[in-house]
Amino acid sequence: MGDAFVRRTARDRSREVSRLMNGSTAEPDQGATAPLRLGRERLSDRRRRAGTIAERLAEAHPAATCSLDFANPFQLLVATILSAQCTDRRVNMVTGELFRRWPSPAALAGAGRRDLEAVIKSTGFYRAKAKNILGCCRALVERHGGEVPQSLADLVKLPGVGRKTANVVLGSAFGKADGIVVDTHVGRITRRLGLTRRTDAVGAERDLVKVVPRDHWIAFSHRLIEHGRTICPARSPRCAACPLADLCPRLGVEGRPRRKPAVRRQAAKKPRRP
């Protein structure tokens, strides 16, 4: 892996010293591999590590795919717009009725705003989403003959469509690897892995495309999301069971001190009268 990887010896002692130096009072995860110590990692070393991470994710989650239900690019585009601040499961509960009533961009472009809002209300932010969906469908009809464009530049010009939505459609509907989808979960896990420090999606994607092999770009996000659900949740990661344990510095996991319990101030007791 290169000089950036420091050989680990006396695993348990190393973990304990690190934990104490960082002020953590939490007990170490029994049986887990010691966290990777990155030091000043060179870009070439990070690329090799990212490649190995991508390969192991492929082995651990081979069936991971887009969790939104769709039959064509148009349906995936609308479903992805609806998925903002909403679970994919909830979106899938809504889109069946949505596409039954309005099965094409032309049909949905002519929908009444209040009728659409009533169907998608349970996904949250339904007024803004309805406005974006109607505007997007009208743009598809007027600019693209009712077809979903297959370029990032054209997709991000549609109302309600940013880089994340465009990358989802290009990758999952058209099989085009033009970027890496970075949502909340992908951003969290890649920061934990030390592949990026950026908290904004655009900056994180810029870092990831430099190190993740291009042939993994489409599936990388789906596999990370599945990995986060099953092994690496935000609060209680199962590091002992993680296939990436020896490649992960666990940034934000170990050495995080517990919050001190709030001290209640007791009101001073008034002296009793004699």
Active site residues: 164, 183
- Measured from the Cβ of residue 240, the count of other Cβ atoms closer than 10 Å reads 13
Token code pair at residue 181: 């989808």
Beta carbons of 228 and 185 less than 8 angstroms apart: yes
Token code pair at residue 243: 């296939």
What b-and-e string marks burial along 140-161, b requiring 16 or more CB atoms within 10 Å of the CB? Answer: bbeeeeeebbeebeebeebebb
Measured between alpha carbons, how far apart are the two ends of the chain, in Å? 79
d(CA 43, CA 247): 15
d(CA 160, CA 52): 35
d(CA 209, CA 64): 20
Token code pair at residue 45: 């070393």
Beta carbons of 176 and 168 less than 8 angstroms apart: no
